[in-house]
Amino acid sequence: MAAVALHSSAAQAHERFVLHRLRVPLQNEFFTRSLVQNPDMGRIGLNVAAVLMALLLIWMFRFVLQGFAEQSVFSGFGGGTRRAAHILACFVTDRPVCHRLFLRVGEWTVIMLLRSPGLALMYSATTDSLVMPSFPLDPGSAAIFKFAQVGVGILIVTQTLLPLAGALLFGTWLYLFRWGWYVAMDALPILAAAAVYASSPWRSHKLTIVQLNAGQMKWIRWILGLSFFTLGWLKIWNHDLVAGVGDNYPSVMHDPLVNFFAIGTDPHYRRECWVVAFGMAEVFSGFLLMIGVFARVWSLLLVFVMTKLMLIDFGWAEIPHVYLIGPLLAMIFSNELTSELSRFEVGYEEACRRSGTVTLLVGMILPAVVLAILVIFPMLELLTHTDRLGL
């Protein structure tokens, strides 16, 4: 409430330190043609839906595939190789991994998750920013906000009164709506840390917190998944900003997954297709995180991408990526992962005992196809009819 009572001017730019000015204008009509009239955008949607459907099917068959691999492929190897294969299979399928090194690294990632946002807040204070360097403070109230951020950062770094720190972070996120809903959506990842702090004990400074429970991990997974899912659609909507970053940092246009999603598109629309494929890659990753399908694998890939952007491509201007890297690392090394498809899998196992093979396959394939289509195409079509004036 104190933050809302204070005033600051609207942000003049989404990115202050990351160059994003277009060097060559995009062909804007590409983004406003229906999927029926735009085969390139439709092809990207089809590529993403096909990969999403395949991963959903593999997820449903993961235990069968794991059993086949361990009994048929690795049965002839030594005990050490079989144990390593079992650990790897458990890691990929989000099952508990019982290994001393894995558990120790998991404890370290929780400590990083709890402490690193405090350092990011202090860095923002030194750059006259609120939460992230992208959001500049008004000079008239900058001192108040900077001292407040340093104060919250001290609470976080010293692990003191974490529920209060969580409430303050949540209130700060609500305050960002003053600059517009787009700004608040861009800052969604800070809610992952806020959720962990809010669910921590008030005596946090007297405790050694090195593990998170299943409920906390579910909140992290939902929030991060929603963040990527939302920001992916917003990148397609606000295409000039994304293309401008690509123009100034050409290395970001060489991502293998993004280029794979753009396979089969017209080279004449290379930059436009890259923007759509880039946004769809985030939508794709975010959706899999939200429903808890191969969460560790996608978290590992996203940590690599976020770290590369921060340390190699953009530098300290992208230090807010620690709001993502910390929770993603905690998810990678957590044995408390759950999936939103678990109830469906229970029903599937019961159906296995009653139905034939054909009925069983149809019951698995049809939901994966329908889900992949509904996640991708309706929203992609809707974006072609949205107003982009003023962006």
Structure confidence at residue 232 (pLDDT)? 92
368 three-class SS: helix
- 136 bridge partner residues: 129
* Kind plus residue range of the DSSP H or E element containing 130: strand 129-130
The letter for the amino acid at 342 is: S
Classify residue 185: in a domain, yes or no.
yes
CA distance 23 to 15: 16
Q: With beta carbons less than 8 A apart as the criterion, state whether 235 and 278 touch.
A: yes
CA 24, 25, 28: angle at the middle one, nearest 5? 150
CB within 8 A of 99, min separation 6: which ones? Answer: 87
Residue 165, pLDDT score: 93
Contact 331, 295 (CB under 8 A): yes
Contacts of 288 (CB under 8 A, 6+ apart): 52, 55, 225, 294, 295, 298
- 82 domain residue, yes or no: no
SS3 state of residue 133 = strand
CA distance 136 to 19: 16
Q: Is residue 41 assigned to a domain?
A: yes
Could you state, in chain order, the average pLDDT of each consecutive group of 10 residues for the chain (391 residues)? Answer: 34 47 83 90 94 90 75 70 85 90 94 90 84 77 87 92 93 84 84 93 90 92 93 89 79 81 90 92 93 93 85 73 90 92 68 62 77 92 79 55
**Domain coverage including residue 228:** 2-6+26-67+88-383
Total domains, the chain: 1
pTM of the model: 0.85
Q: Is 136 helix (H, G, I), strand (E, B) or coil?
A: strand
Euclidean distance between CA atoms 203 and 157, whole angstroms? 15
355 and 73 in contact (C-beta within 8 Å)?
Answer: no
Q: Provide the 8-state DSSP code for 32.
A: G
Look at residue 277 in the predicted model and tell me its pLDDT: 93
Residue 20 lies in a domain: no
* Burial state string for 241-269 with b = 16 or more CB within 10 A and e = fewer than 16: bbbbbbbebeebbebebbeebbeebeeeb
Q: Is residue 169 part of a domain?
A: yes
Position 229 in a domain: yes
Q: Determine the angle formed by the axes of helices 214-237 and 239-248, rounding to 10 degrees.
A: 90
